[in-house]
Amino acid sequence: MGETLILGLESSCDETAAAVVARSADGRGRILSNVVLSQIEEHAAFGGVVPEIAARAHVDVMDGVVRAALEDAGVTLAEIDAIAATAGPGLIGGVLVGLMTAKALALGAGKPLIAVNHLEGHALTARLTDSVAFPYLLLLVSGGHSQILRVDGVGQYRRIGTTIDDALGEAFDKTAKLLQLGYPGGPEVERMAALGNAERFTLPRPLLGRKEPNFSFSGLKTAVRLEATAAAPMSQQDVADLCAAFQVAVADVVADRVGVALGPFSAETGGSPTLVVAGGVAANKAIRARLEAVLTAHGGRLVVPPGKLCTDNGAMIAWTGAERFALGFRDGLDVAARPRWPLDSAAEPLIGKGRLGAKA
């Protein structure tokens, strides 16, 4: 049998994206096209994503992005086997744009529809890029999430740790905003950190050494603000030094928390654990280097998909659609968009985590 071709649409945050992915019967994937239109410029002035602006921008460009994805892949809609779209979690106005577009295409072209959890898209990307086998441990670190999950199969997730306050990407973004760096903050903080001396400022390492592999970043954010206030007016070097201190503190915490999660996971699964890092923060090279060392110490393997597949994109949605399609999952045209949609529905939000954030 040949390959299945899946069109995937993503619009849950500030990227309008569509992609065509092929999946062979033996489970290998191939990206035929991956079109991502970022709205960063529209939101930059506000230092964050404005939901209403995002939703309108998705409406403006989604048709063209889908057309471009089909053209780049050299396929027609008729040749597509199924249409997948992010159905949540995310900014509901944006999610609706992608999901409704997918429904219209599915109905018009007589194709099956597959509603995809955006987080599952991040979670399964490593199977597209590196053919990673189940089970694996997933560190999901994005603008809206900081979680450690055990992944046992498509749709099978168990949350092992989560943040009790801010998400890691959010901490990067808030630090950048405070230091008047650009948006999104992660890449800016990483760029400045490379020029700084991490020893100059002493910052806390929240939850370091705790038995449960949870995260907390709001205290760190406050500590950065206090140091910045004390050092005002800050020179470029001061900013670089504070960014370096922040990044090292974060990397220490992430390495520690992942180490705590790896122990039991490794014991339960017979050793040689695989850790997959997903979400925008996976692009951070300092964090990546620290995790590399942790995995080496555990006799395991670190898998980080290429940067443009770590941040939001259509290929991750198309691929998740392909995995679900192969297992026989189909959704009706009445499937609802969901602003919240945890991967592990049995896991409760932790006390202190007032909001799960709209971004994923």
Q: Where does this chain bind Zn ion (CB under 5 A)?
A: 142, 312, 360
89, 93, 143, 314: residue in contact with ligand KG4 (rule CB under 6 A): 143
238 binds, among Zn ion, ligand KG4, none (CB under 5 to 8 A by kind): none
185, 196, 206, 300: residue in contact with ligand KG4 (rule CB under 6 A): 185
314 binds, among Zn ion, ligand KG4, none (CB under 5 to 8 A by kind): none
Angle in degrees, CA 208, 210, 215, rounded to 5: 65
Which residues from 296-335 bind ligand KG4, rule CB under 6 A? 311-312
Q: Is 360 in the site for ligand KG4 (CB under 6 A)?
A: yes
Q: Nearest distance from residue 129's CB to ligand KG4, in Å?
A: 15
29, 89, 121, 169: residue in contact with ligand KG4 (rule CB under 6 A): 169
Q: Is 265 in the site for ligand KG4 (CB under 6 A)?
A: no
165 binds, among Zn ion, ligand KG4, none (CB under 5 to 8 A by kind): none
Map the chain to HEC letters: CCCEEEEEEECCCCEEEEEEEEECCCCCEEEEEEEEEECHHHHHCCCCCCHHHHHHHHHHHHHHHHHHHHHHHCCCHHHCCEEEEEEECCCHHHHHHHHHHHHHHHHHHCCCEEEEEHHHHHHHHHHHHHCCCCCEEEEEECCCCEEEEEEEECCEEEEEEEECCCCHHHHHHHHHHHCCCCCCHHHHHHHHHCCCCCCCCCCCCCCCCCCCCCECCHHHHHHHHHHHHHHCCCCHHHHHHHHHHHHHHHHHHHHHHHHHHHHHHHHHHCCCCEEEEECHHHHCHHHHHHHHHHHHHCCCEEECCCHHHHCCCCHHHHHHHHHHHHCCCCECCCCCCCCCCCCCCCCCCCCCCCCCCCCC
Q: Is 172 in the site for ligand KG4 (CB under 6 A)?
A: yes
Q: Nearest distance from residue 118's CB to ligand KG4, in Å?
A: 7
Nearer to ligand KG4, 5 or 311 (CB): 311
**Per CB under 6 A, which region of 17-25, 128-136, 181-189, 196-204 contacts ligand KG4?**
181-189
Q: Which residues contact 231 (CB under 8 A, 6 or more apart)?
A: 238, 242
Nearer to ligand KG4, 105 or 138 (CB): 138
Identify any residues that bridge with 4 across adjacent strands, giving them in sequence order.
Answer: 23
| Binding characters for ligand KG4, 6-45, by CB under 6 A (x = yes) | -------x--------------------------------
| Binding characters for ligand KG4, 186-205, by CB under 6 A (x = yes) | xx--x---------------
Q: Is 184 in the site for ligand KG4 (CB under 6 A)?
A: yes
Q: Is 123 in the site for ligand KG4 (CB under 6 A)?
A: no
Nearer to ligand KG4, 106 or 141 (CB): 141
Asked if residue 315 lies in contact with residue 7, where contact means CB atoms within 8 angstroms, the answer is no
Nearer to ligand KG4, 61 or 75 (CB): 61
Q: Nearest distance from residue 262's CB to ligand KG4, in Å?
A: 22
94, 206, 280, 342: residue in contact with ligand KG4 (rule CB under 6 A): 280
